Amino acid sequence: EVATSAYQTPASLRSMLRAVTDDMVNVFVGIVALAAVFAFRSIPQAKRYFDAAIQNGQGLVRMEYADNFDGGEKLAQLEIARKAFEQAIETNPTFATSYYKLGHVYNQLASLQPELSDGFIEKAVATYERLNEVNPHYSEVHLNLAIMYWEQSRRTANDADSLKLTEHAYSEITEAARQ
């Protein structure tokens, strides 16, 4: 019986190195392919995020600009801001800042248009609640929800409904304080 030697011939060593090199090339090609897939998937997503950020920025500028006016011009600037924030949310439904600012715009519109305030307060509440779903750790949302629920409770004639809204307000303010 012939004993096998631990010594490898140069031909077998070359064969082993070629196999290792081929494996390394295959791994490298796989990594490059994965990076290409990620890049092609990420580029459109990055563009959507960028577009939403531009729209959000336009809304912020209009909100700031509205502070310089009263009456009709202030309403017009807030409407432009509202549309910009809504567009940013449509473009990127996870853009938390746009929800927060949109709720704030609804709140301002409610205070400027008393005859429409109930509808704007409901929209502000719905917007803040959606923000809470998108990002439950956005601490300012709880304070603003508490304010909106309290405002709704003050406007509600039904005592039972008013009590429920006051309890919601208390729950949200407690959560704001906890965070």
Q: What is the mean pLDDT of each run of 10 residues along the chain (179 residues)?
A: 55 68 72 69 83 94 93 95 97 94 95 87 94 89 88 85 87 84
- pTM higher than 0.85, yes or no? no
pLDDT at 66: 94
Residue 129, classified by CB atoms within 10 Å of its CB into exposed (0-12), middle (13-18) or buried (19+), is: middle
Q: Amino acid identity, residue 144?
A: N
- CA dist 1 and 26 (Å) reads 40
Residue 68 tokens, joined: 């310089």
Residue 97 tokens, joined: 């800042």
Residue 107 tokens, joined: 């709140």
CA distances from 141 to 21, 82, 131 (A): 56, 18, 7
Q: Considering only CA atoms, which of 80, 68, 165, 167 is closest in space to residue 125?
A: 165
Helix-helix angle 71-91:96-112, to 10 degrees: 150
